[in-house]
Amino acid sequence: MKKILLFIAFSLTIFNLFAQKNGSITGILADSANHKTTLNYATVSVYKVGDSILTTYKLSDDKGVFKINGLPPNVKYRLVITAWQYGTFRKEVELSTANPALNLGTLYLSTKANDLNEVFISAERPPVIVRKDTIEFNAESFKTLPSAVVEDLLKKLPGVAIAADGSIQVNGKTVSRILVDGKEFFGGDQQIATKNLPANIIDKVQVVEDKQAKRRAPDLTAAEIPQIINLKLKKAIKKGAFGKLYAGGGLKDLYQAGGLMNFFRDTTQVSILAYGNNINQPGFNPNDVQRIGGFNRSGVNSMMMSSSGYFEFNGINFGGSNNGVQTSSGGGFNFNTINKKGIKFNTQYFFGKSNNLLEKLSNTNQTLGTDRLITNANENTTSLILKHNIGGKLDWQIDSLTQLTIEPAMVLNSNNSISKISSNNSNANNQLINTLENLNDRNSSGNKYQLRADFNKDFKKAGRSLNIGADISATPNPVTNYNKSNSIFYLTPSTSEIDQLRQNNVDNFRSYLYGNYSEPISKKLKFKADINGNIINSENALSTFYRNPANQLYDMVIPNLSQTVKQNGFKTNTNISLGYKLTKDLYLQPGLVHNYISLNNRFTNGADIDQRYHFMWPTFQLTYKIFRFNYTASFTEPNVSYLQPVADNTNALYIRNGNPNLLPARMQSLSMYMYKYDPKNLINYNLYGYGNFTKNGIINTITINNGVQTVNPINMSGIYNFQGGANISKDFRKDKTSLKAGLGFWANFDHTPVIVNNILSNANVFYVGPNGSIRLSLNDKVEINQSYSINLNRSKYNDSFYTNISYNTHQSTSELIIRYPKKVVFETSYALTINEQKIAGYNNNIKFWNAALTYLFMKNDRAQLKFSVNDILQSNVRRTIQITGNSVIDAQSNNLGRYGMLTLTYNIQNFGQKVGGRQTFFNF
């Protein structure tokens, strides 16, 4: 509680600092010819008379009103007002102590015929220009340190937010790509150059809508359309190279090393990387890997990140581990170019290798009326993972209205792991029910072959568009698992042994075809048709063999544990709608969706099962100003693995069956979203919510006998889920001090049937999480970041057989960065997690404290020597808690623990010079 009160007191002090009363200038901007036409989002720049340094600025709001606070009185100021398609307006004013609040009334600006050729006095370049569909920031107006990179510049721009995972938002809208001089630069993905390009080579930062995303999804509202950031380079910067080399070591033979080099010349870019470490860290952070280029060009089909630093793109692990301790290495290259016809080509190859050691303790506590089933497990798993990724992309802008994209990709993945698990079950009286010693030697492959193609066509008639495409993939995934286990039962004394080989080949083929067409019938009425189809061809072939005592080979086939399931068929989804613009702000789009699914399930040891279903359902979409509501429905077929009518007994105390009689699930979905950005007060806020109602959804029924759980999937209705949240943030600026404060709230509610030992109950699971954060920057010398969140977890049941569950989790993260004295950077972070779910033997309060000291040297600070200490308090664990059904699962896994590391990094930057030839590597 003391920490929370200190946090509140600190926040109030900071807010008071920014709320000090000073002079202000207010006014309204309007068209000189039509006084009723206000000038929205015009830039009002303030300079001191005789000074060319920008004092402050504001944008007018959606009614043309502007208000500039925090101006000291008894000073003469020069206002420079710029608005798209209007001439520049200049006015000198003076604030006095007697009259610190100056109201200029209405200021009238005259239109200008040629805004694009407008010439600004160099000392008066406006910091922001808002055109019809473009926001343009003048980089010189936002001062950064000499060693700053583009990311440092973007953080200073109003409305721009960079999350911990590196994703970027502008005024609450997601940034999909970053371009350089209008060209795709290293894949055009987020953070493509933010960590490498120096800020001092940027002339302008332009923000525009992603028109390609709008074509592919015409129903996107203004708040949902992704943004593109275009970095306009200074004229002298057109060719160059950049990258970094780093190497570090510490006690206990710990090491890390890596290199990243990028070359670009006009329209061609080449990237090379390599890394290796044994400190459980990615070789590069997600930003580094994304900006290598090619990931967006060749397609980021999947992305996964965790708070511990682990991440994957397209199934490729670039080092680091979500659980356990890992040694990793890898390398690859990307090549991107654009030919004279404007066709963009990309090819890439990446290889990754990781050795992982996982030591995990888990406690699963199930409520069963007056009894309980408490499972304690101790797992030790070692694994070797090898992954290859080969991909490419062709992007052809045939003409200004037509675009063709073709993306082939191949992923080859092998995972060899040996897992040893010791577990035991006990009841509410702490009586031991059984124990299990289990060994799994598993070799698996996760391969994927994919081809995606997309054709977009806009027509001269405004609003008419056509988009067609295909996504074809094959995923052959063979698994070989040698499984040995020994179970001992105590209440009814007995033993059980298993020594078997399971060969499971899962082969999925998908061919997804889609198209949408929009036709404006009138200025207010629009017709839209969306059609897609999915061809399904999946196989799950399972063969189980016992070891033959005679020859010690696994050649004894077990018929009741062997089966092949093949699923063939197709499904279609057709959605036809009419959009009507009722008023300027209100848009309605009612429609009708038709779903059809045809499946043939074939079994080697059973009768075929044919399934054919179709239904029609209304759809509806409403858009009113910043609010959007959507309602639709769809079919989802059961995965072929659920249909496999053979028990998975690799864990002898937790046996999973399949069900060949499962039906497709029908889901109704609704969503709502509201977003607002107030440029006058620098406030962002949004409100969102989603809901799903499922008929014939799949749940697991559990039967517990003598501590052995047998799981059977069945269809159930009455499943629904709601999730939503709200966020608000505000920027405060005064002189060289900036503060960004944010508050958020999210909630999730799941209503799902739970069946244990034939006792049915509805589980109502609530997750609620309020959170807040503050980011304070004092002249770029000191940065303070503080965040706090609490997750309230509740689970309630309507049958007394199950016990309600309640616990809270608190998380606090504090960060301090000091860039003083010159050339020295001190940084430290402290993360605290408090888990109120009390389980004996588990670390409920986890404290992570890291600190580092960096010394910058050489020209432009391109060399850095960093000494860092990780996990100073020796927490040495990771911990997770979750509610599933009638259970609380509490797990903790090993971490690397405390260690020190000395790392040398050399940044390579060569711009405006030739690359190669007589220019040697260290001349960069």
Residue 516: CB atoms within 10 A of its CB come to 20
- Rounded to an integer, what distance in angstroms lies between the CA atom of residue 93 and that of residue 78? 6
Q: Which residues pair with 270 in a beta bridge?
A: 263, 335
- Rounded to an integer, what distance in angstroms lies between the CA atom of residue 738 and that of residue 507? 55
Q: Looking at residue 651, what DSSP letter applies?
A: S
Say how far residue 609 (Cα) sits from the centre of its chain. 40
pLDDT in tens, 60-72: 887 889 988 878 8
Are 263 and 269 within 8 A, CB to CB?
yes
Residue 739: CB atoms within 10 A of its CB come to 20
- Rounded to an integer, what distance in angstroms lies between the CA atom of residue 24 and that of residue 93? 11
Are 347 and 328 within 8 A, CB to CB?
no
Quote the Cα angle for 336-339-344, to 5°: 45
The closest of 566, 572, 639 to 609, measured between CA atoms, is 566
Residue type, 262: N
Q: Which residues pair with 789 in a beta bridge?
A: 771, 811
**At 5, phi and psi to the nearest 5?**
-65, -40
Residue 752's alpha-carbon distances to 224, 692, 694, in angstroms, are: 31, 12, 10
Q: Which residues pair with 495 in a beta bridge?
A: 488
The pLDDT assigned to 220 comes to 58
**Tokens at 245, concatenated:** 């080399």
Q: Which residues contact 206 (CB under 8 A, 6 or more apart)?
A: 134, 135, 136, 137, 229, 230, 231, 232
Are 809 and 881 within 8 A, CB to CB?
yes
* Mean pLDDT per 10-residue segment, the chain (924 residues): 51 51 86 89 85 78 85 88 86 88 93 54 67 79 72 80 71 77 58 68 86 59 73 70 86 89 76 86 47 31 38 40 77 84 86 91 90 93 92 89 92 94 94 96 94 92 92 94 96 94 93 93 94 93 93 92 93 94 93 93 90 92 89 86 87 91 92 79 84 93 93 94 91 78 92 94 93 87 91 91 90 91 92 80 82 90 90 84 83 88 84 38 34
The pLDDT assigned to 311 comes to 41
Are 818 and 852 within 8 A, CB to CB?
no
The pLDDT assigned to 840 comes to 60
**Tokens at 864, concatenated:** 């850095």
Q: Which residues contact 23 (CB under 8 A, 6 or more apart)?
A: 70, 71, 72, 73, 95, 100, 101, 102
- Rounded to an integer, what distance in angstroms lies between the CA atom of residue 373 and that of residue 704? 9
Residue 45's alpha-carbon distances to 49, 129, 153, 398, 783, in angstroms, are: 12, 11, 19, 42, 26
**Tokens at 347, concatenated:** 């090819």
Q: Which residues contact 237 (CB under 8 A, 6 or more apart)?
A: 201, 911, 912
Are 712 and 756 within 8 A, CB to CB?
no
- Rounded to an integer, what distance in angstroms lies between the CA atom of residue 814 and that of residue 868? 17
- Rounded to an integer, what distance in angstroms lies between the CA atom of residue 126 and that of residue 56? 10
Going by their DSSP bridges, the two strands 173-180 and 227-233 should be labelled as: parallel
- Rounded to an integer, what distance in angstroms lies between the CA atom of residue 403 and that of residue 186? 20
